[in-house]
Structure 1
């Protein structure tokens, strides 16, 4: 947060020649989502995922419930099928620092994040195939026999694709070289 207020805010202000400081794009929230599709019958694994995501983000996640029953998948109404979490303010910046400086460099063969994962509003979305790259993960033997992906969405305010890309470049986001 300190880096944003002291450096990035003014770099964007002068780069785009904004007339008002309120026009500068900023990160509104970071949303995390993890689906429990392969093991939603196993309460122990779901609780382990819940505790681990709680440890990663220092915030309690929420279970997403199934809206209707689907007999082909053996899912009943109101079963827990995913875990979601929205980070704002201090927790958001702490998570962003953690993922950029501690977790992404630990991925074996990491070449960078794709540059074309922006939507029309300038929000950036990417996924991690295995969430165990975070140092806070409980590494007991029971947890290591399944791999869970994590979808991360960075939502911007007052932005488009070009401004968001510039913002993330000022944060030293590890994009792939095209």
Structure 2
């Protein structure tokens, strides 16, 4: 759907998605020499996950994690339950131990835009994200230690500090392709100027 078609239907396209379609796609095609434009790596989904180990002792802790994830992503999270009972961790099968949200389409693009331009710059002493956390297939996972970097979280209502794992799933076949895609999307990687 082109920007003209989007304007006719009244649907506003996310800013980062527009930049990807108009500029980044062409740059990546030139950089890697793809014959077909469908080979250019793109964004599939963004998964935001949090584990709540304290939920084994206090079941109300999971409610705070669900509320935080809902505020940050704008989507109701799915509660993760234990598959097995583990006596050492005082964990029973079926007990809530975490929550995760899978964002696709425009929601994923908007979340990434907010993450890159608003949330990550608010991290204290932030020097950039590591470039080594790719999984071998062009997908990138990193952790955030506290939820307060997101503007959607009310600082006064934080009951406890929670961290999140964020996984960005792309159509890239290799880590180099995935790294190039995220670099063009302005991900703040460590030593970014050396690689650009």
Instruction: Name the TM-score class by shorter chain.
Output: over 0.9
Structure 1: gaps of 5 or more residues: none
1:37-56 mapped onto 2 (5 Å cutoff): 37-56=53-72
Counterpart secondary structure, 1:31: strand
Moved more, 41-50 or 127-136: 41-50
Bigger relative contact order, structure 1 or 2 (CA pairs below 8 A, ≥6 apart): 1
- For the residues of structure 2 that align with 1:159 and 1:46, how far apart are their CA atoms? 36
Instruction: Give the structure 1 partner of residue 166 of structure 2.
Output: 152
Please say if residues 26 and 157 of structure 1, whose CA atoms lie closer than 8 Å, have aligned partners that are also in contact. yes
- Aligned positions, number: 176
Please say if residues 32 and 151 of structure 1, whose CA atoms lie closer than 8 Å, have aligned partners that are also in contact. yes
- For the residues of structure 2 that align with 1:79 and 1:43, how far apart are their CA atoms? 9
Instruction: Give the structure 2 partner of residue 110 of structure 1.
Output: 126
- For the residues of structure 2 that align with 1:60 and 1:3, how far apart are their CA atoms? 28
Q: Provide TM-score, normalisation by structure 1.
A: 0.93
- For the residues of structure 2 that align with 1:151 and 1:48, how far apart are their CA atoms? 16
Counterpart secondary structure, 1:43: coil
Cα offset, 1:157, TM superposition: 0.8
Please say if residues 142 and 167 of structure 2, whose CA atoms lie closer than 8 Å, have aligned partners that are also in contact. yes
Name which of 106, 129, 133 aligns with 2:149: 133
Q: Provide TM-score, normalisation by structure 2.
A: 0.85
- For the residues of structure 2 that align with 1:52 and 1:117, how far apart are their CA atoms? 25
